[in-house]
Amino acid sequence: MTGLIIAGVVVVILVIIAIALVSMYNSLVRVRNLVQESWRQIDVELHRRHDLIPNLVESVKGYAAHEKSVFEEVARARSAAAAPGASPAEQAQQENQLTQALGRLFAVAENYPVLRASENFQQLQLELTATEDRIAAARRFYNANVRDLNTRVESFPSNIIANMFHFERAEYFEVDDPTVRQAPTVQF
């Protein structure tokens, strides 16, 4: 009789442990899938951004044809950023270069008041701004999911399950542009 009670207790403990392990595994799978889904959202917005840029360049070209080096730089940066297969860190670096090139393109556009007043140019600027906002929101969502996954991959006891089933830390999608992190200089 005592042996049956001990065996029953052992079985209950083993069932509880099995349920906990399955729960941890499923939690890791769920968070990993959220990371992948949120990266796809960023990718969609980046493609939208990449599709807007040629139209923007063509709008500026009509007014500033002599600024060929700026157009080539934007085209080069766009091609690198639109190339498939980059990791989040590589994509972030390529997007930073594209952002800098676009900044130079907008600086050129500032020299042409007629261009700035153009309805087509203004609409493209608005679409690009809206897309940048969506990219920023998607990046925050992605990075939050990466944080959750990385926490689970590193925390005990889920790290045991993560190691057994080869769950790995994910990369953050971070802005490395030093001009973004600098405080602007204000002069009166």
Read off the pLDDT band of 186 (50, 70, 90). very low
Phi-psi region of 85 (alpha: psi -120 to 50; beta: other; left: phi over 0): left
Residue 59 CA to its chain's centroid (Å): 28
Do 132 and 49 touch, CB atoms closer than 8 A? yes
Residue 21 CA to its chain's centroid (Å): 31
Q: CA 52, 57, 62, 63: dihedral to nearest 10 degrees?
A: 120
pLDDT at 16 over 90: yes
Q: Which two tokens stand for residue 54?
A: 């040629």
Residue-wise burial string across 128-150, b where 16 or more C-beta atoms lie within 10 A, e elsewhere: beebeebbeebbebbbebbebbb
pLDDT at 159: 95
* pLDDT tens profile 122-170: 888 899 999 999 999 999 999 999 999 999 999 999 999 999 999 999 9
pLDDT at 118: 82
Query: Could you tell me which of 59, 107, 56, 110 has the C-alpha nearest to residue 78?
Result: 56
- Looking at domain 35-181, what is its CATH homologous superfamily? LemA-like domain (1.20.1440.20)
pLDDT at 183: 45
* pLDDT tens profile 93-131: 999 999 999 998 888 888 888 887 888 888 888 999 999
Mean pLDDT over 71-79 rounds to: 91
Residue 122 contacts by C-beta under 8 Å, 6 or more apart in sequence? Answer: 116
Query: Could you tell me which of 37, 36, 17 has the C-alpha nearest to residue 161?
Result: 17
Query: Could you tell me which of 152, 157, 149, 67 has the C-alpha nearest to residue 106?
Result: 67
pLDDT at 176 over 80: no
The H or E element that residue 14 is part of is: helix 2-61
Provide the greatest CA pair distance for the chain. Answer: 95
Find the distance separating the first CA and the last CA of the chain, reported in whole Å: 90
